[in-house]
């Protein structure tokens, strides 16, 4: 008996707390603004509190205890992840007339905001959510702390100990000779005044103290803060304002978090439309390192359903958007959010509820992981205004609505229909008012048909077996005969048809995370994996940690590679899956500022790019030009590893023209590229010297011992 208890305890201790709860594509996320959800503990409401809930810029009482109380409600919607607004300790004063009830004005990344609770409450939330099959994703804000000109003036604490504020830091700041920016803990480069180039990432976003993530203290501090959530059982992060941080730092930050387990991390890159000149275009054209919120397509969806616009145009915009992603099904789609006007507050149509249902069903069936913003299920809107902060009214709980039924039905279907979770995206027919798109994955298919105009009998070609099909939402019917589908669609209707046949061949639908380093756990989601088999990554067999028919967990092996992407294949029952890509990093990466003296490069047309001989640098990266005469970029680099780089010029959306130049460097926090391969590094030299010294000492000691023995 004792032994059994001991073994059970050991298993419990060894079972990591951290893991993406399930394959993320199988789930739906429910987004909660904690202060506005439910007040489970009135004793933590003061100060900066408005009991009447009339001042939208003060605390209204919601907290972690309230969220825990409402977990059964959340579960009733069929969702499997909760994204909570930032929980870290925020400033204790008003700034610009508002309190940080939203959580985006952090002062201490190691503590929980006292209006929301404490670490025990967070751990209890994770535990209680887990009992209900739900995991918790934390909104984390590593770009900036809090306002520099009001409130607490960028005050920063390390688990209660004061570190600095923006003015003290300004006194200590020095100019970085490479970037030309004054910096210490923060950047001191004014406010973002142009939304591109250096200011985009190295200046204050709306007056918020902008972190210098390359300062090693800041780097560890922000990483440790996020680790506390991971260690307390968070299954992922929504990372705020990724547009304003160096991609290279983010990559290193994510890799460190992933070393805790296969977390689901997605970034917020705020851009209402996907422009070619956008930094996001560069971010995605080559790197594709993390999923992002689908902000650009959200705008298209709302315009089309709440105002005007053709479904044919929308389908083209969506296809274009998805074409930028290595894994389109990892896009995080949403209809409403705390930053945008809620759909039901946006337009002014008589049929807005039906249109809302259509847009909601679309969000839940597009490639990607859907987010439901709190209150979407209960048609929550504010009577007092539209955008921020009026898109954050106090929650009204009602899970008996048509919207709640749509969410629940499609969340359930996502668990059983592989095409809804992992399928591709193909429009079969589209006009201004009607649209049919299909998603397929192996032997599973999904067909979404809609009509926002007068009732119509829609016919179109489809490669489905003959028969009558019944829609999952309303029981609508579709007849298929000889490759022609025919379906009657009332005004403002949306139907979802589906097929699930047995999946015999292994097929990979998702890898979480799809950026990884050796030794890291990844979850492979898909179908037809059978009871056991092998997973091959970059030609090497990976260690299997668990195996189910639709989900495998493996450890990424160490590879001798210089490519950025490597193939992952599942072999089961003598059948091989088609390969899917994994973005491979060598491991032990540090965030490095890589620079080249502009005089070495000469004139450049467009942007200067580099790519290099190690996986971290294998995809081209754009460089910025500083006022101090350097081109620079931030990239993860394995410490001590020598590498070479080549250069290109051009625009992100065109072909890159190679320049005839190769330079060299060795992985470190700052690397100035040189024309000659570097001499052996100091550390390596010292290492060699030590080895020589130890060998010499050893030989001398041995000689002395021999002489001494002979004398005796």
Q: Which residues bind Ca ion (CB under 5 A)?
A: 39, 41, 44-45, 61, 63, 143, 201, 210, 244
Binding string, residues 293-312; x marks residues near ligand NOJ by CB under 6 A: --------------------
Q: State phi, psi for 49 to the nearest 5 degrees.
A: -110, 145
Site for ligand NOJ in 83-112 (CB under 6 A): 102, 104
To the query of whether residue 240 is one of the catalytic residues in this protein, the response is yes
Question: Whose Cβ is closer to Ca ion: residue 61's or residue 267's?
Answer: 61
DSSP β-ladder status, 515-516 and 580-584: parallel
CA atoms within 13 Å, Cβ hemisphere of 96: 10
339 binding ligand NOJ? (CB under 6 A) = yes
The Cα 4–Cα 556 span in angstroms is 32
398 binding ligand NOJ? (CB under 6 A) = no
The Cα 524–Cα 256 span in angstroms is 20
What does 268 bind: Ca ion, ligand NOJ, none (CB cut-off 5 to 8 Å by kind)? ligand NOJ
Position closest to ligand NOJ via CB: 104
The Cα 350–Cα 373 span in angstroms is 23
CA atoms within 13 Å, Cβ hemisphere of 601: 25
Select from 449, 507, 454, 457 the least CA-distant residue to 474.
Answer: 449
What does 44 bind: ligand NOJ, Ca ion, none (CB cut-off 5 to 8 Å by kind)? Ca ion
Between the two ends of the chain, the Cα-to-Cα distance in Å is 63
Question: From residue 244, how far is each of 248, 267, 386 by CA, in Å?
Answer: 12, 11, 26
- Shortest Cβ 21–ligand NOJ spacing (Å): 23
To the query of whether residue 312 is one of the catalytic residues in this protein, the response is no
CA atoms within 13 Å, Cβ hemisphere of 666: 11
Question: Whose Cβ is closer to ligand NOJ: residue 59's or residue 565's?
Answer: 59
Question: Whose Cβ is closer to ligand NOJ: residue 141's or residue 570's?
Answer: 141
Strand extents, DSSP E, 505-586? 507-512, 515-516, 521-527, 534-537, 540-541, 543-547, 551-555, 565-572, 575-576, 580-584
Strand partners, 463: none
Is 666 in contact with 641 (CB distance < 8 Å)? yes
- Shortest Cβ 32–Ca ion spacing (Å): 14
What does 70 bind: Ca ion, ligand NOJ, none (CB cut-off 5 to 8 Å by kind)? none
- Shortest Cβ 259–Ca ion spacing (Å): 24
336 binding ligand NOJ? (CB under 6 A) = no
Cα 588 to its chain centre, rounded Å, is: 21
Strand partners, 182: 175, 188
What does 668 bind: ligand NOJ, Ca ion, none (CB cut-off 5 to 8 Å by kind)? none
Q: State phi, psi for 704 to the nearest 5 degrees.
A: -60, -45
Is 280 in contact with 243 (CB distance < 8 Å)? yes
Question: Whose Cβ is closer to ligand NOJ: residue 49's or residue 104's?
Answer: 104
Question: Whose Cβ is closer to ligand NOJ: residue 55's or residue 569's?
Answer: 55
- Shortest Cβ 104–ligand NOJ spacing (Å): 4
Strand extents, DSSP E, 328-417? 332-334, 369-373
113 binding ligand NOJ? (CB under 6 A) = no
Choice among 63, 152, 268, 336 that is catalytic: 268
Site for ligand NOJ in 580-639 (CB under 6 A): none
Q: What angle do CA 187, 626, 194 make, to 5 degrees?
A: 65
Site for ligand NOJ in 137-156 (CB under 6 A): 141
Question: Whose Cβ is closer to ligand NOJ: residue 121's or residue 268's?
Answer: 268
CA atoms within 13 Å, Cβ hemisphere of 10: 6
209 binding ligand NOJ? (CB under 6 A) = no
Q: How many chain residues interact with ligand NOJ (CB under 6 A)?
A: 8
- Shortest Cβ 113–Ca ion spacing (Å): 11
- Shortest Cβ 197–Ca ion spacing (Å): 13
Question: From residue 620, how far is each of 191, 508, 562, 648 by CA, in Å?
Answer: 29, 27, 13, 8
- Shortest Cβ 337–ligand NOJ spacing (Å): 7
Site for ligand NOJ in 684-703 (CB under 6 A): none
Question: Whose Cβ is closer to ligand NOJ: residue 209's or residue 480's?
Answer: 209
268 binding ligand NOJ? (CB under 6 A) = yes
Secondary structure (3-state) at 364 = helix
Question: Whose Cβ is closer to ligand NOJ: residue 68's or residue 247's?
Answer: 247
Based on DSSP, count helices (H) and strands (E) in the chain, helices before strands: 17, 42
What does 241 bind: Ca ion, ligand NOJ, none (CB cut-off 5 to 8 Å by kind)? ligand NOJ
Q: Which long-range contacts (CB under 8 A, 24 or more apart) does 531-536 make?
A: 532/572, 533/506, 533/570, 533/571, 533/572, 533/573, 534/570, 534/571, 534/572, 535/568, 535/569, 535/570, 535/571, 536/567, 536/568, 536/569, 536/571
Of 241, 404, 410, 485, which lies in the binding site for ligand NOJ, with binding defined by CB under 6 A?
241
Secondary structure (3-state) at 236 = strand
Is the sign of the CA dihedral 524, 528, 534, 539 positive or negative?
A: negative
What does 342 bind: ligand NOJ, Ca ion, none (CB cut-off 5 to 8 Å by kind)? none
What does 41 bind: ligand NOJ, Ca ion, none (CB cut-off 5 to 8 Å by kind)? Ca ion
Question: Whose Cβ is closer to ligand NOJ: residue 85's or residue 399's?
Answer: 85
- Shortest Cβ 35–ligand NOJ spacing (Å): 12
- Shortest Cβ 54–Ca ion spacing (Å): 17
Is the sign of the CA dihedral 23, 24, 26, 29 positive or negative?
A: positive
- Shortest Cβ 560–ligand NOJ spacing (Å): 41
- Shortest Cβ 471–ligand NOJ spacing (Å): 35
The Cα 78–Cα 195 span in angstroms is 39
What does 364 bind: ligand NOJ, Ca ion, none (CB cut-off 5 to 8 Å by kind)? none
402 binding ligand NOJ? (CB under 6 A) = no
What does 63 bind: Ca ion, ligand NOJ, none (CB cut-off 5 to 8 Å by kind)? Ca ion
What does 210 bind: Ca ion, ligand NOJ, none (CB cut-off 5 to 8 Å by kind)? Ca ion
Question: Whose Cβ is closer to ligand NOJ: residue 151's or residue 667's?
Answer: 151
523 binding ligand NOJ? (CB under 6 A) = no
Size (the chain), residues? 712
Is 544 in contact with 534 (CB distance < 8 Å)? yes
Question: Whose Cβ is closer to ligand NOJ: residue 311's or residue 331's?
Answer: 331
338 binding ligand NOJ? (CB under 6 A) = yes
36 binding ligand NOJ? (CB under 6 A) = no
Cα 467 to its chain centre, rounded Å, is: 41
The Cα 412–Cα 595 span in angstroms is 50
Question: Whose Cβ is closer to ligand NOJ: residue 339's or residue 555's?
Answer: 339
Per residue, the 3-state secondary structure of 237-294, as one string, reads EEECCHHHCCHHHHHHHHHHHHCCCCCEEEECCCCCCCCCCCHHHHHHHHHCCCCEEC
What does 338 bind: Ca ion, ligand NOJ, none (CB cut-off 5 to 8 Å by kind)? ligand NOJ
What does 244 bind: ligand NOJ, Ca ion, none (CB cut-off 5 to 8 Å by kind)? Ca ion
Choice among 165, 210, 240, 377 that is catalytic: 240
- Shortest Cβ 53–Ca ion spacing (Å): 13
Catalogue the active-site residues: 240, 268
Binding site for ligand NOJ (CB under 6 A): 102, 104, 141, 240-241, 268, 338-339
């Amino acid at each position: 008996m004792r032994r059994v208890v001991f073994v059970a305890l050991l298993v419990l201790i060894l079972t990591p707390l951290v893991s993406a709860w399930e394959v993320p594509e199988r789930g739906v996320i429910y987004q909660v603004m904690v202060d506005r959800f439910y007040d489970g503990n009135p004793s933590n409401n003061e100060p900066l509190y408005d009991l009447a809930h009339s001042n939208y810029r003060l605390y209204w009482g919601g907290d972690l205890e309230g969220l825990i109380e409402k977990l059964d409600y959340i579960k009733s919607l069929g969702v499997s992840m909760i994204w909570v607004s930032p929980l870290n300790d925020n400033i204790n004063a008003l700034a610009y007339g508002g309190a940080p009830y939203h959580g985006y004005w952090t002062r201490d990344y190691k503590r929980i905001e006292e209006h929301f609770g404490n670490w025990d409450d967070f751990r209890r939330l994770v535990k209680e959510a887990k009992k209900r099959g739900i995991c918790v994703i934390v909104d984390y804000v590593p770009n900036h702390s809090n306002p520099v000109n009001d409130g607490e003036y960028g005050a920063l604490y390390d688990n209660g100990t004061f570190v600095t504020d923006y003015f003290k830091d300004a006194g200590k700041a020095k100019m970085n000779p490479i970037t030309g920016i004054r910096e210490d803990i923060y950047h001191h480069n004014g406010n973002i005044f142009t939304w591109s180039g250096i200011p985009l990432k190295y200046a204050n976003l709306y007056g918020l103290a902008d972190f210098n993530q390359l300062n090693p203290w800041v780097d560890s501090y922000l990483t440790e803060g996020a680790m506390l959530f991971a260690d307390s059982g968070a299954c992922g992060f929504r990372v705020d304002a990724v547009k304003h941080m160096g991609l290279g730092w983010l990559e290193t930050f994510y890799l460190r978090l992933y070393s805790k387990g296969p977390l689901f991390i997605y970034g917020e890159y705020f851009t209402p439309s996907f422009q070619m000149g956008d930094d996001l275009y560069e971010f995605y054209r080559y790197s594709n390192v993390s999923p992002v919120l689908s902000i650009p397509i959200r705008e298209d969806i709302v315009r089309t359903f709440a105002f005007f616009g053709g479904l044919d145009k929308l389908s083209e915009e969506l296809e274009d958007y998805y074409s930028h992603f290595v894994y389109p099904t990892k896009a995080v789609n949403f209809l409403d959010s705390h930053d945008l006007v809620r759909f039901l507050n946006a337009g002014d149509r008589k049929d807005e509820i039906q249109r809302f249902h259509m847009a909601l069903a679309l969000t839940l069936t597009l490639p990607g992981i859907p987010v439901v913003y709190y209150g979407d299920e209960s048609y929550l809107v504010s009577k007092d205004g539209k955008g921020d902060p009026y898109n954050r009214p106090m929650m009204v709980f009602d899970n008996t609505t048509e919207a709640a039924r749509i969410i629940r039905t499609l969340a359930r279907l996502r668990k059983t229909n592989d095409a809804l979770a992992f399928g591709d995206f193909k429009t079969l027919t589209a006009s201004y008012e009607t649209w049919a798109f299909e998603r397929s994955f192996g032997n599973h298919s999904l067909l979404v048909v809609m009509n926002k105009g007068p009732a119509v009998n829609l016919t179109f070609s489809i490669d489905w077996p003959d028969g009558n099909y019944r829609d999952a939402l309303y029981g609508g019917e579709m007849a298929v005969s000889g490759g022609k589908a025919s379906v009657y669609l009332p005004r403002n209707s949306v139907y979802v048809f589906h097929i699930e046949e047995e999946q015999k061949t292994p097929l990979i639908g998702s890898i979480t995370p799809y950026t990884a380093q050796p030794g890291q756990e990844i979850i492979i989601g898909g179908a037809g994996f059978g009871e056991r088999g092998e997973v091959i990554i970059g030609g090497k067999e990976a260690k299997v940690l668990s195996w189910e028919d639709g989900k495998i967990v493996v450890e990424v092996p160490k590879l001798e590679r210089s490519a950025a992407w490597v193939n992952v294949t599942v072999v089961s029952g003598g059948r091989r899956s088609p390969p899917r890509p994994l973005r491979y990093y060598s491991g032990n990466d540090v965030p490095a500022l890589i620079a080249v003296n502009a005089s070495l490069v000469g004139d450049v047309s467009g942007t200067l790019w580099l790519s290099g001989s190690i996986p971290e640098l294998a995809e081209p990266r754009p460089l910025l030009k500083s006022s101090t005469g350097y081109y620079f970029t931030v990239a993860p680099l394995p410490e001590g590893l020598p590498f070479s780089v080549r250069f290109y010029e051009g625009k992100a959306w065109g072909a890159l023209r190679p320049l005839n130049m190769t330079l060299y460097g060795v992985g470190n926090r700052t690397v100035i590229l040189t024309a000659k391969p570097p001499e052996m590094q100091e550390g390596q030299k010292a290492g060699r010297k030590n080895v020589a010294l130890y060998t010499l000492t050893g030989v001398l000691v041995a000689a002395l011992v021999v002489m001494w023995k002979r004398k005796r």
